[in-house]
Amino acid sequence: MTWLPIVSFVLGAVLAHRYKIIILLPAMLVVTLVAIGAEALNSALSAILTIVAAGVALQIGYFAGILVQLSLRVIFPPQLSPFSRTRSSPESLS
């Protein structure tokens, strides 16, 4: 089952973009259940290796997603909107 670690890696990168690190616990549970379902007909050792590979790929994907976000923030810093600047006195409006 080589598709499960690949999907887990991409899922980890997507989760890093949207959620905090606590999302890894439920994601690991889902990946474990999918791996057990995918390896139900094979041996127990094969199922355990698939679970470990998918879990590691999920966490590496999450870390890679965080690194991509930080790199993009360094390369393209967020710009201030012209509407975000406030004026403190009514005289400055005229």
SS3 1: coil
Stated length of the chain: 94
Q: Which residue has the higher pLDDT, 63 or 82?
A: 63
What is the per-residue pLDDT across 57-79, written as a single tens digit (0 to 9) for each? 888 898 988 888 888 888 887 77
| Residues with Cβ within 8 Å of residue 57, at least 6 apart in sequence | 4, 5, 6, 8, 9, 12
Ordered by start, the domain boundaries in the chain are: 3-75
What is the per-residue pLDDT across 22-62, written as a single tens digit (0 to 9) for each? 888 888 888 888 888 877 777 878 878 888 888 888 888 98
Query: What does the alpha-carbon distance between residue 63 and residue 61 come to, in Å, rounded to a whole number?
Result: 5
- Tell me, what's the pLDDT at 94? 53
Query: What does the alpha-carbon distance between residue 10 and residue 52 come to, in Å, rounded to a whole number?
Result: 16
pLDDT mean over 72-93: 67
SS3 40: coil
Query: What pTM value is reported for the model?
Result: 0.70
